[in-house]
Amino acid sequence: MLLTDPTVSAAEYWVNAEKARFTQQDGPCAETPKDVVDTRRSLELEINSVGLLMSSVCARFNAIAPVNRLPPETLAHIFHFVRDADTDTNRLLPAYDFDFQAAPTTTLPPRAVGWVPATTHVCRQWRTAGLEHPTLWSNIRSDLGPEWKREFLRRSKMVPVVIQPNKMALPSRKEVITEELAADIARHFSHLRELSVDSGVDILAPIIQALDRPAPILERLALSNVNVRPPSMGRVQMPVFPPEAFSGYAPRLHGLTLRRWSFLWSSLSFSSLVHLIVAHPSWDHPHDAGDFEQLSNTLRKMSALEKLTLEHALPPLPAGATRHSVCGPTVPLPKLCSIRLVDDVRKCGLALKHLTIPATTEWYVSCVQYEQGCDFLLPWLATRLGNSPPIRTLLLSEIFDFPTIAAYDREVTDFARPKPQYAVDSPRSDLESPLFRLTLGHEGGQLPLLHVRLLLNAMSLGDMRVLSVCCNQEWTTQNWSTLFGMCNDLRHARIMLSCARPLCQLLLTGFSPVQGGPEPIYPRLEELTLSNVRFGDGNRIRNDELTERLKDQGILKKLVIEKCSITSELIDRLKEVVLEVVWDGHAHEMSDDGWDD
């Protein structure tokens, strides 16, 4: 308990103390300029001393506050919530925010480490709790400068440390690694829980050397080499992932990402892996990583794998390989949820053929150089679709240089407009995962009819109810009928761009070289959506053409017109022959590529 003199009030005591301290209370206290300066200097010292006294009294007052009776461990636990709120990587930071590359001696960033002044600039007890508890400094953001990272590492002492990946993926916010920081990371390697760094081989040298050491608590490792350039600019040495990484001891490692690193498939054989991502530039495949058999042997050891991404990382094709070739043991991956392959179509086909994967796995396959070897995909398609529910929705897209086929086992009709960075329309709901998404290269964007027919004929489309086509191909109605002429259960069709005219002729008339005869080949077609379609003369749909075909078909119940070049007069005529016409109300002007401006 704080003891004071009960016979003297606080006000009386300090008034008496002031009178005792100062000899002159009233009137002029100085006669010459020098006396004025000396007096002001003396009073300034008094003010500073009284300030220190006030601070001491406030400290006594704060010491008996309930919050300051909490133990330091409890305060540190509370500070964790403040830190996590400030370091939330899901929040976008304004462009005018703090310079994250500045040293710790400069002004603190308001969000990245805003918890530091908020918790340590209050009182001595809070400052001690904030600065001396290493777990508060164990989560290191990627967008902090190297000096800040080094300070965090120093204060984290020996607790498990997380060095976050650069989630924003912007060049101005790339991971900043200096030689000094790399050396510090290497020294702390034994107690790293997660490490994600982007840098060149010269800067990463200390970290590369540390990869030979055991990593008892390492859970995630992501290494990206940024010193990569096309062959025309000269080759640059890639960092090498050690053949005996972690001395074979990383029992908790469940996530591994290598981007533009040299490696051997055998060096990645960690049975604890759940996520594996290996990516190379398209012009520099890892030819020395091993063959298909070594890849298969490595994957066989990863029975817990849930996510697999291989971009231009598959081994070279064996000499004389065909789609029937067996290049290694079959690999069962019973827990795989997602697979992404980007490579030569023949390599993708052989790799997929050797994988045994659950029917619920989400597939994304992007094949380049598909002009030769599309038949390598047929064994995979036969296995994939043979163990899956019937295809209910099919998307065929050939825009933005990404010819893509996607299949769903549900009727998906609500699609977002495709953007230039995407290959195909995407369902608005993230829950609508396809049976597979197959992208065939991105060089020119012209997918030959022969290859489309080869792939679609390998799929059973008799139960398909929704069809979405978005392309500028000049295929004839007869060409289209060889692709979809047997889809008699079709209920909803969505057509975009210049393929609309021949496809409308196929959908709305009885013409079919596959079946023949006057009867409609789509007797259940109830809804048709036309998007980004031109109406008029030339190669466009003629103004009277659609009305006549709809009148002859007599089955369609709903017609949707969106983002089309069309007149209100034509809309009125369409309403006379279709029960329900939905129009966005605008006669859009479209650019040469078919998109509305």
Q: What is the DSSP string of 146-203?
A: HHHHHHHHHHHTTS-EEE---SS--GGG-----HHHHHHHHHTGGGEEEEEEEE-TTT
Residue 591 has a pLDDT of: 52
What is the architecture of the domain spanning 390-435+459-597? Alpha-Beta Horseshoe (3.80)
Q: What is the pTM of this model?
A: 0.76
CA separation, residue 149 to residues 74, 88, 92, 99, 145 (Å): 25, 17, 20, 14, 6
Domain with CATH 3.80.10 in the chain: 390-435+459-597
Residue 89 has pLDDT above 80, yes or no: no
Q: What is the mean pLDDT of residues 589-597?
A: 51
Residue 35 has a pLDDT of: 78
What's the token pair of residue 48? Answer: 């500073």
pLDDT, tens digit (0-9, with 9 covering 90-100), for 454-465: 889 888 898 999
Banded pLDDT at 429 (limits 50, 70, 90): very low
Banded pLDDT at 301 (limits 50, 70, 90): very high
Distance, in Å, from the CA atom of 397 to the CA atom of 594, rounded to the nearest integer, reads 14
Residue 418 has a pLDDT of: 44
What's the token pair of residue 286? Answer: 């890892």
pLDDT, tens digit (0-9, with 9 covering 90-100), for 103-129: 554 444 445 677 777 777 777 788 888
pLDDT, tens digit (0-9, with 9 covering 90-100), for 236-287: 678 889 998 998 899 999 999 999 888 999 999 999 999 999 998 877 766 6
Distance, in Å, from the CA atom of 586 to the CA atom of 597, rounded to the nearest integer, reads 12
Distance, in Å, from the CA atom of 78 to the CA atom of 72, rounded to the nearest integer, reads 10
What's the token pair of residue 383? Answer: 């296995």
- Best CA proximity match to 470, nearest among 451, 437, 493, 454: 493
pLDDT, tens digit (0-9, with 9 covering 90-100), for 466-501: 999 988 887 888 889 899 988 889 999 999 887 888
Residue 279 has a pLDDT of: 92
- Our CA dihedral for 258, 323, 371, 344, rounded to 10 degrees, sits at 10
Other C-beta atoms closer than 10 Å to the C-beta of 171 total: 7
Strands 426-427 and 415-416: antiparallel
Owner of token pair 């040469």:
592
- Best CA proximity match to 330, nearest among 287, 358, 361, 299: 299
pLDDT, tens digit (0-9, with 9 covering 90-100), for 334-383: 999 999 999 988 999 999 999 998 888 888 888 876 567 888 989 888 88
Banded pLDDT at 510 (limits 50, 70, 90): low
Q: What is the mean pLDDT of residues 311-321?
A: 88
Instruction: Using the CB atoms, write b or e for 460-491: b if 16+ within 10 Å.
Output: ebeebbbbbbbbebebebebbbbbbbbbbbbb
pLDDT, tens digit (0-9, with 9 covering 90-100), for 531-575: 988 887 666 788 788 888 888 777 889 999 998 888 888 999 999
- Our CA dihedral for 320, 324, 328, 332, rounded to 10 degrees, sits at 150
For 174, counting Cβ atoms within 10 Å of its Cβ (0-12 exposed, 13-18 middle, 19+ buried), the class is middle
- Between 245-254, 304-313, 506-515, the lowest mean confidence (pLDDT) is in 506-515
List helix spans (H) across 224-305: 292-300
Residue 231 has a pLDDT of: 60
Banded pLDDT at 167 (limits 50, 70, 90): low
Residue 512 has pLDDT above 60, yes or no: no
Average pLDDT, the chain: 80
Q: What is the mean pLDDT of residues 198-204?
A: 80
Residue 581 has a pLDDT of: 93
List helix spans (H) across 413-461: 449-457
Report the interhelical angle of 179-187 vs 146-156 (nearest 10°). 20
Banded pLDDT at 26 (limits 50, 70, 90): low
Distance, in Å, from the CA atom of 256 to the CA atom of 265, rounded to the nearest integer, reads 13
Residue 19 has pLDDT above 90, yes or no: no
Banded pLDDT at 166 (limits 50, 70, 90): low
Residue 406 has pLDDT above 50, yes or no: yes
Banded pLDDT at 445 (limits 50, 70, 90): low
Q: What is the mean pLDDT of residues 193-205?
A: 84
What are 395's strand-pairing partners? Answer: 406, 468
- Best CA proximity match to 406, nearest among 425, 388, 422, 421: 425
- Best CA proximity match to 222, nearest among 192, 244, 195, 186: 195
List helix spans (H) across 301-423: 345-353, 378-386
For residue 216, the SS3 value is coil
